């Protein structure tokens, strides 16, 4: 092209008039003709644009033909009918997008392969909309849609998430997943494909996951209701119990009655109302009675039987130690026991019971020194049988022993000691050889002029309420000190006329038990007198 410009410039240089057509023709005759390659070279961008447009057009045509071919090949799957439940599964109809199929009729070209001679024959097939679904496009609040259809179920084409069954004369479309779905009917008849479609929107997202703490509760137990993945506030439909909010989507129900109760509420999202109903049972309170035999003579021979009257218990436990499933306990000691009964759904009853001690022998006596004879004592028998005086039972008998030697002196003997110092007195109370008990005391006997009791009972009954020392004769420089076993001084006196009332230095009551005394003084002849011994403080 630059050669042409140079030729034209040389010819027209300094030319003032417009050249004629002949001038231009002569110039062209001398200009060399361009080849096809030059043409392509100088117009290459135009050629690239044209070729790109042709390729894109070919791809688009191929895609459209493929889509039409897929639409012609739709075939409904078989229906498996088990009693009244039919399910249709279509692997090629998974898209849930709504499409506009409202045209009355349209045409398309398909290839029909009848034989080798007609292999490339193009046949025109007509698609015609007919009325198969008797329901209009609809929104379903839930998971099931029931409707009448006039065609056979085998020509239905449904998405994978929808399952079909028959219920009476209705066709049921069950879908557990919320969303928009298209249900198609397509049947080939001669050169026509008859079809119908219906759009169904399932709104079952209101069916939230509801969790109950238990479905079987114990009497008086509260129920916890938890709603998962929920933004709606439940509308409760039962006023027979109390409902309180614990936190977001968590509620407590109290006041449930024994028997069957129904938890009912609804959720409303502005378009759909969803109802939840569940039964929970509150089992009956267990009724039972206790049958026991007492311990005999404070031994491990008591028995206990728990009898259930209306509910079968799963476990009985005494003192959190002994457990069984039949409620029978043997070889029990007398005393107080804690009882736990487990029944139903881990329900528990707590109770306290007493195993009595029958023929419980509690021997006891008081030794009283004679006023005239300091070595002579009277023994007052205060033995009890089952917390009552022994006199009420004629079968009880007693054996008295002094320093291991048996003496026969009846229920309340009198005995004069001949041994100075400590003397052991035993009282054996018995009904038979297997039922007996022993009580003993040590009595200090002095051959001096002192009369010192070895026991006193400061309980206010007027008998032996004070510990008082008596000296037969004259004594001076007298001092008495009473100490506990730990060495604590409980009482001191410089006068033999003073007595100890059982209080620690005149304040608080001294505890029951053994105490020691030291008595010092001088007789009328100036002889030092010293007396030591033990005394027993008893308050009952």
Query: Can you tell me the distance from the alpha carbon of 214 to that of 232, in angstroms, rounded to the nearest whole number?
Result: 23
The per-residue pLDDT of the chain, averaged, comes to: 81
Q: Which CATH architecture has domain 209-282?
A: Sandwich (2.60)
- Each residue's pLDDT tens digit, 225-281: 999 878 888 999 888 899 999 998 999 999 999 999 999 999 888 878 888 899 999
Query: Can you tell me the distance from the alpha carbon of 513 to that of 520, in angstroms, rounded to the nearest whole number?
Result: 23
The predicted structure's pLDDT at residue 456: 92
Is the pLDDT confidence value at 65 over 90? no
* Mean pLDDT confidence for 36-60: 73
65: helix, coil or strand? helix
The residue count for the chain: 540
Q: Answer yes or no: CATH 2.60.40.1220 is held by domain 449-540.
A: yes
Q: Answer yes or no: CATH 1.20.1250 is held by domain 80-202.
A: no
- Each residue's pLDDT tens digit, 330-377: 999 999 999 999 998 789 999 999 999 888 899 999 999 887 777 889
Pick the CATH number of 359-447 from 3.90.1300.10, 2.60.34.10, 2.60.40.10, 3.40.640.10: 2.60.40.10
In angstroms, the Cα distances linking 31 to 34, 177, 516 are: 9, 79, 157
Residue 339 in tokens: 């009882």
Residue environment code for 165-193, b if the CB has 16+ CB neighbours within 10 A, otherwise e: beeeeebbbbbeeeeebbbbbbbeeeeeb
Query: Can you tell me the distance from the alpha carbon of 198 to that of 276, in angstroms, rounded to the nearest whole number?
Result: 29
526 pLDDT band, cuts 50/70/90, is confident
472 pLDDT band, cuts 50/70/90, is confident
26 pLDDT band, cuts 50/70/90, is low
pTM for this predicted structure = 0.44
Query: Can you tell me the distance from the alpha carbon of 351 to that of 338, in angstroms, rounded to the nearest whole number?
Result: 6
């Amino acid at each position: 092209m630059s050669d042409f410009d140079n030729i034209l410039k040389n010819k027209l240089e300094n030319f003032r008039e417009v050249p004629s057509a002949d001038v231009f023709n002569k110039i062209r005759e001398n200009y060399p003709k361009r080849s096809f390659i030059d043409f392509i070279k100088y117009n290459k961008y135009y050629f690239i644009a044209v070729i790109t447009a042709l390729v894109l057009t070919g791809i688009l045509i191929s895609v459209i033909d493929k889509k039409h071919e897929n639409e012609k090949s739709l075939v409904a799957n078989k229906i498996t009918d088990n009693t009244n439940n039919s399910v249709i599964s279509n692997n090629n109809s998974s898209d849930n997008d709504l499409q506009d199929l409202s045209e009355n009729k349209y045409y398309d070209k398909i290839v029909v392969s009848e034989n080798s001679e007609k292999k490339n024959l193009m046949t025109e097939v007509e698609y015609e909309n007919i009325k198969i679904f008797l329901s209009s496009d609809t929104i379903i609040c839930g998971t099931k849609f029931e409707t009448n259809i006039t065609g056979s179920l085998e020509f239905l084409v449904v998405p994978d998430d929808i399952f079909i069954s028959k219920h009476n004369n209705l066709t049921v479309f069950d879908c557990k997943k919320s969303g928009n779905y298209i249900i198609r009917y397509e049947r080939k008849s001669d050169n026509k494909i008859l079809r119908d479609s219906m759009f169904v929107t399932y709104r079952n997202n209101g069916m939230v996951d509801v969790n109950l703490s238990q479905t079987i509760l114990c009497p008086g137990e509260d129920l916890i209701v938890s709603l998962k993945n929920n933004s709606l506030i439940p509308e409760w439909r039962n006023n027979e119990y109390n409902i309180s909010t614990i936190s977001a989507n968590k509620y407590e129900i109290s006041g449930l009655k024994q028997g069957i109760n129904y938890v009912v509420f609804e959720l409303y999202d502005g378009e759909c109302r969803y109802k939840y109903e569940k039964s929970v049972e509150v089992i009956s309170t267990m009724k039972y009675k206790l049958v026991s035999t007492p311990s005999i003579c404070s031994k491990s021979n008591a028995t206990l039987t728990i009898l259930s009257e209306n509910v079968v218990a799963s476990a009985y436990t005494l003192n959190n130690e002994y457990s069984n499933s039949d409620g029978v306990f043997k070889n029990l000691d007398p005393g107080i026991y804690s009882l736990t009964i487990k029944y139903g759904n881990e329900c528990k009853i707590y109770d306290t019971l007493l195993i009595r001690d029958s023929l419980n022998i509690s021997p006891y006596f008081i030794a009283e020194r004679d006023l005239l004879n300091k070595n002579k004592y009277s023994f007052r028998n205060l033995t009890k049988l089952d917390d009552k005086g022994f006199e009420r039972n004629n079968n009880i008998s007693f054996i008295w022993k002094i320093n291991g030697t048996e003496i026969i002196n009846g229920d309340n003997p009198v005995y004069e000691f001949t041994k100075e110092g400590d003397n052991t007195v035993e009282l054996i109370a018995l009904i038979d050889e297997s039922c007996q008990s022993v009580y003993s005391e040590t009595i200090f006997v002095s051959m001096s002029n002192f009369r010192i009791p070895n026991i006193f009972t400061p309980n206010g009954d007027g008998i032996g309420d004070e510990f008082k020392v008596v000296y037969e004769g004259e004594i001076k420089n007298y001092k008495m000190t009473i100490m506990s076993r730990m060495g604590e001084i409980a009482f001191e006196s410089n006068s033999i006329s003073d007595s100890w009332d059982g209080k620690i230095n005149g304040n608080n009551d001294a505890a029951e038990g053994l105490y020691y005394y030291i008595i010092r003084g001088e007789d009328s002849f100036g002889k030092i007198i010293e007396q030591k011994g033990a005394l027993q403080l008893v308050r009952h």
